Structure 1
């Protein structure tokens, strides 16, 4: 490679030529590139040069264009809920009800302000989390290799890229060769081969190969006007959205049938049609989930923020929701279950080789800049044994990184005028490359098995001259101890109903030894599953699989899903990306490549499984809050619609006005946003969105509340004079529905007795404010709301409390025990494991 003269850093040097067009960059020779960029390939830039260039060129990033906040705010006036309110405003103006027009207009604006504010806060949480998920780059500065965020690169930085990396800027390749996937940039799925002198475009993915390069363009000046893909923000439709869509559809059908009956009876009785339309629209609106988007967004954002505090970054808000239903988790052994800190524990020279021969050849087939644990173990052992002290100078010629197909790494070096080929890798793969036949292979397998029985991983090292067949020099045993907390964490996940399956490329014997120590004793070869019939049986009895190639992970995920399992997958490499994308919960571990992080929906910042436990628990917490909202929404919608419709049929009057119903919808729906902060005990078992039985409980609770509300109305009608005073009737019905809403959600938040857990302070404050404000509004003389005697107000509140927290709560507990066994089991209850 070319190196500029020593005075290339001298003052008065010409400015950096980073404004050349892409075609010029590709044709300029490497030596000229160094001269233009004023950089020494051997030392890289100095800290002062980096600072000076950043002042000129800024950070290596393209600033995202954001929508104008005013336009986003105006967007809150568009949608089903907003259209309903706007239609009511238009009808109120048409009928001359200007006070209703003013109030509905105020509700519309407040609705928009609340929704806009909460979504902005949630977006801020996501933005803060994404800042922590950055593409990294290996860069040489001040003569040292270091890893930095890609946004800190400047033109002239010398970088190293490997398989699985996203090219962090436009980089001219100085040495090495590789195959790039540019589909994210060009849309073409075919790979492109790159050689020394080629320009690697920003955002491309290295599929095979590695090499060193120099950054030529950064930020908005890159070939495609972008730096890197920080997060592949796939935004699949949430499972809960499908559930809610079905629920709302049926609620509309139910409400529509009731309102059709009311409309027909009104026409028969000769009621003015124009006066009925606003109330009919408001009743229909009772089935629209007005605060649903805000509640879900806030709940997901708060959960994601809590997860970030515990070392889990989510790349989309719905990731935690997916984790609630996960019942199988496939995890890598190395780096997740084990420490990923390999050390050479035993060297076995073969035939005429020496220990120094084995270690030196293994070290030459390693690269420190790759920061690979196996490479670092060989290099550390070679240094500790000083194997290169008495050897002639060795010049690297080429290096072929580990390939999952050949299962080895190779290097070509020059020593004393001759070229040596060195390699290290899986014992059988290297032995076959050396021409060994079955009898010798079986003897080697016996040695590998003996080492594996002690938990050691064994690699083979070989060396040859030129293109001649290499000679097997010896075996090297490595040890990667399990993490101290691995066994306990796997037991914890089992206690949460999540089956853990260990995946490793190691031989079966090594995997068995590791598995026995962490509570996963039944490990099988992955070949037993591939192409076998009855794979469900194999998955049921297996605690993991050995001899797994990266592409096998995708097959395992698909088979688990075909068996009806909601699957999580951890991964770290580029070949893990398809499996991470396929799994319902794709988890990139702390040491993952940029491609793996982009494909995953969750990124761990700390090593090990501890944070996965937090992910599962937080996901189930969010699920329980959303389920509470569903149960409460269904039951209250049935209460409001059926109560008004049946009361009209019986009395010939609308027991609530359009204004009071709108006020009720606004007060109660937005108070339920506080459910996103409620204290919840996650369940012991994986959740499921097959919630027909929960809906059945909700319908029964709604019917019970309708009967109770009609009975209370009968009392008021016959004893309190409501039959002759419409405004008192409206107030009475308004307070009754308000108090039922407040107390029913206190019951709905628990699948067991309502006192089983203490609500959060925010939730209780919101409900208290809801009741106090609603009651106070009946005392200030608002239209259609006449103040009632204090004893009637207390009587209505006490009746609602007894009905919801005693009668209906008992009905709820009995129905859950009958229809949804185990629904009340939470983390404080006995452990339960679902049968596989």
Structure 2
């Protein structure tokens, strides 16, 4: 198979256009048939390069490397030296199970990401069986006729058949200057079309392309998350504090003559409790689980950090077309000028359109021409050239041959076309008045002109187009406002059109972006406030979006931006939340952090809510981690100072760390109410709440230990003491996380089934181990176990929960009101 392709490839790659078409047996007007596609695929395979992945065995072995793994391994060595072979076996088992669980969860998360990557792969427009269709780029085969447009990533090595294009090959050659390509030139896989459009012939695919690979749109990376940096800082301080406390205990132990080898394992375990053993898994699972849920609801995540960024977003800039409106333009009125007729206007407008582009304006003109049968009885027009819409020229134009004559037809912005026709300023002002009257009704007006190929065209008439608002747009904008997100509409339409649409969807304060740009010359905060106070911007060029984002960010806003074109890429990259809409070009999707699969705002509401849900789950982990680290370290240290002995064994503490930390991975599936306000990384108030809760639990556990010490004979029975302390810390861990998962009273929301099962398994396994009795954990009477359980429940879910709610209402009032 490979040999035959390699033998034919050089000929196809260097031959002329006719020879290439003949070699691949394809008609450029009809494309390949399905049978021919199947034949080519059997011969050449799919248009892809196999992805190289690290061997799973190597990934698994990495789980035995790192600070928490090193501490467990050091404890294993010390246990072997001390002859504690039972501890050695248990710690070895814990290390292996830890690695298996971590590896399994990360592989599942990677599977979710891979599924998203497949849904985000580049598509291509291909001509097959005489019909243009959009197909995944991996399904292309040599001989396919494809259409390339600005913003497209070239999906394979393609020989250009028609028209001229300019492509960016910097990702492949390192040259920043765009390369101009003429018919007969090869467009290399992975390059990006910047200007122009045309048809091309696929000549090489997959590993046989000139650069040896196909460029995939999405390169999944896991950037460092904001909350991850915050947590890392917190953990560093916890590590220092716990280290200082245990250092003092270590010195005091030496003074008291405690056996050095026996106390080191416990101190190591306590130090390990400050290390976030399950943190990487927790973050990965939370983000992947959230991304999977978003994908199910039509939002594809290209960066796992996107959902986290969406949690903090407080301003969203959205394109009018396709997001607020239906993106289904229809011709609602034709106004002929001079001696032209309505049919003349529609004919010229249709000739200046191209169906293969699937452009909404082009399709509206073609549909109107077909509905009015304006081509009936006219001689066929043969296309000579076509210049697609460009943001700089603001028009499309074509040269066609009809009845032996070449004609130039164009359609576009009224002022632009009028100036091309040589109209005087006074005449243009009269046209502007007509446009304004039409815009007041929400209509968009274009001008149509026709003339000789090399002469000045004549203005034939005006065409009114209407793109109705989506039925749910007003309600969804109101929903976003309720979530604390300002919505700003961006449109290239004239101000009157934008005002009419804006009023209908609840965005009445629309301003010209030119006016705001002029004001941006002023210094100070007034400029930023001017941008923040508007509900939208009219007469926006693609490059203006970048300016809007920068000004909003300068005012301190976390900004989201929707986009679909190649010129939107800078703004999408600059915005904290770049959103590629369903019709976005490949370049826009590559710049965005999320891609929508459906039109409208529904999926953006989903993105905001899901992002805040993920944030709340991780914040629960942070609150619980701080309070429980304080509890474990301070409880052991203070108890040692008071009693002169360690009240918990290294083995039981290891078991506790293992049971509780990995059960908290289930937090990634917990039921959480998204906040009604944008989140913030300034979580100082929550850290104070966590510290106070930790201190409260230290006091409660020491009081219960005193009761057990004085009434249950724990002073003379170390195994019973270890069991008592283990159960106390276990039950406090379970109930404290039930309280921490809510910013309000713990009963306001029910935990997820998976989370409840994980916590129940903690309690059952821990209780059963102590009930049957294993080495170092003597069985306790059932009533003592029940008493410890009840004491922990009342302490965490009554006393501490009330303390938590009171402190959050005092320090972080929005956290409680936002989750009512």
8 Å contact kept, 2:663–2:758? yes
TM-score calculated relative to the size of structure 1: 0.95
8 Å contact kept, 2:163–2:385? yes
Residue of structure 2 in register with 1:732 after alignment: 724
User: Which sits farther off after the overlay, 121-130 or 414-423?
Assistant: 414-423
Residue of structure 2 in register with 1:572 after alignment: 564
Q: Is residue 428 from structure 1 mapped to residue 393 from structure 2 by the alignment?
A: no
Q: Is residue 818 from structure 1 mapped to residue 810 from structure 2 by the alignment?
A: yes
Q: Is residue 478 from structure 1 mapped to residue 458 from structure 2 by the alignment?
A: no
Deviations 1:226-275 (CA, angstroms, capped at 9, x unpaired): 22323143532111211111110111111011012112212222323332
- 1:68-217 matches, within 5 Å, as 68-217=55-204
Residue of structure 2 in register with 1:508 after alignment: 495
Per-residue deviation, 1:22: 7.6
Deviations 1:500-546 (CA, angstroms, capped at 9, x unpaired): 10001111111001000000011111112223432222123200101
Separation in 1, partners of 2:210, 2:63: 38
Q: Partner of 2:361: helix, strand, or coil?
A: helix
Separation in 2, partners of 1:98, 1:560: 63
Residue of structure 1 in register with 2:749 after alignment: 757
Separation in 1, partners of 2:179, 2:5: 24
Q: Is residue 308 from structure 1 mapped to residue 300 from structure 2 by the alignment?
A: no
Instruction: Identify which of 626, 643, 656 aligns with 1:651.
Output: 643
User: Which sits farther off after the overlay, 222-231 or 566-575?
Assistant: 222-231
Separation in 1, partners of 2:37, 2:21: 15
Residue of structure 1 in register with 2:446 after alignment: 459
Separation in 2, partners of 1:695, 1:529: 41
Count of residues in correspondence between the two structures = 814
User: Which sits farther off after the overlay, 127-136 or 646-655?
Assistant: 127-136
Unmatched 5+ stretches in structure 2: none
Per-residue deviation, 1:714: 1.4
Per-residue deviation, 1:323: 1.2
Deviations 1:5-42 (CA, angstroms, capped at 9, x unpaired): xxxxxxxxxx9985369875554211111111111111
Residue of structure 2 in register with 1:334 after alignment: 321
Per-residue deviation, 1:224: 1.4
8 Å contact kept, 1:17–1:36? no
- 1:383-462 matches, within 5 Å, as 383-462=370-449
Deviations 1:600-630 (CA, angstroms, capped at 9, x unpaired): 1211111111111111111111111111111
User: Which sits farther off after the overlay, 462-471 or 585-594?
Assistant: 462-471
8 Å contact kept, 1:588–1:596? yes
Separation in 1, partners of 2:516, 2:265: 63
Instruction: Identify which of 528, 536, 543 aligns with 2:535.
Output: 543
Q: Partner of 2:607: helix, strand, or coil?
A: helix
Separation in 1, partners of 2:409, 2:249: 87
User: Which sits farther off after the overlay, 677-686 or 806-815?
Assistant: 677-686
Per-residue deviation, 1:190: 2.3
Per-residue deviation, 1:786: 1.2
Q: Is residue 602 from structure 1 mapped to residue 594 from structure 2 by the alignment?
A: yes
Residue of structure 2 in register with 1:833 after alignment: none
Q: Partner of 1:240: helix, strand, or coil?
A: helix
Separation in 1, partners of 2:59, 2:255: 46
Instruction: Identify which of 263, 268, 292 aligns with 2:250.
Output: 263
Q: Is residue 629 from structure 1 mapped to residue 621 from structure 2 by the alignment?
A: yes
8 Å contact kept, 1:22–1:223? no
Separation in 2, partners of 1:388, 1:419: 17
Residue of structure 2 in register with 1:373 after alignment: 360
Instruction: Identify which of 32, 37, 62 aligns with 2:24.
Output: 37
Residue of structure 2 in register with 1:620 after alignment: 612
8 Å contact kept, 1:506–1:547? yes
Per-residue deviation, 1:793: 1.4
Separation in 1, partners of 2:173, 2:633: 54
Q: Partner of 1:689: helix, strand, or coil?
A: coil
Per-residue deviation, 1:764: 1.4
Residue of structure 1 in register with 2:698 after alignment: 706
Per-residue deviation, 1:377: 0.8
8 Å contact kept, 2:143–2:202? yes
Separation in 2, partners of 1:84, 1:559: 49
Residue of structure 1 in register with 2:265 after alignment: 278
Cα RMSD over matched residues? Answer: 1.7
Separation in 2, partners of 1:235, 1:747: 31
User: Which sits farther off after the overlay, 274-283 or 539-548?
Assistant: 274-283
Instruction: Identify which of 209, 231, 237 aligns with 1:244.
Output: 231
Deviations 1:103-157 (CA, angstroms, capped at 9, x unpaired): 1110000000101111111111222222222311111111121111111111101
Q: Is residue 591 from structure 1 mapped to residue 578 from structure 2 by the alignment?
A: no
Residue of structure 2 in register with 1:667 after alignment: 659
User: Which sits farther off after the overlay, 43-52 or 462-471?
Assistant: 462-471
User: Which sits farther off after the overlay, 809-818 or 231-240?
Assistant: 231-240
Residue of structure 1 in register with 2:682 after alignment: 690
Residue of structure 2 in register with 1:4 after alignment: none
Unmatched 5+ stretches in structure 1: 1-14, 830-836
Q: Is residue 768 from structure 1 mapped to residue 755 from structure 2 by the alignment?
A: no
Q: Partner of 1:421: helix, strand, or coil?
A: strand
8 Å contact kept, 1:26–1:198? no
Separation in 1, partners of 2:722, 2:657: 15
Deviations 1:338-384 (CA, angstroms, capped at 9, x unpaired): 11111111111122222222111111111110010000111111222
Separation in 1, partners of 2:222, 2:185: 35
Taking a change above 3 Å as real, the CA distance of residues 21 and 567 of structure 1, as seen in their structure-2 partners, is farther
Q: Is residue 218 from structure 1 mapped to residue 205 from structure 2 by the alignment?
A: yes
Taking a change above 3 Å as real, the CA distance of residues 256 and 437 of structure 1, as seen in their structure-2 partners, is farther
8 Å contact kept, 1:743–1:805? yes
Residue of structure 1 in register with 2:782 after alignment: 790
Per-residue deviation, 1:674: 1.5
Per-residue deviation, 1:326: 1.1
8 Å contact kept, 1:229–1:598? no
Per-residue deviation, 1:95: 2.7
User: Which sits farther off after the overlay, 367-376 or 416-425?
Assistant: 416-425
Deviations 1:304-338 (CA, angstroms, capped at 9, x unpaired): 22222211111233322221111111110001111
Deviations 1:761-793 (CA, angstroms, capped at 9, x unpaired): 221121111011111111333222111222221
Per-residue deviation, 1:564: 1.1
Deviations 1:471-507 (CA, angstroms, capped at 9, x unpaired): 2221111000001111111111111111110001111
Residue of structure 1 in register with 2:43 after alignment: 56
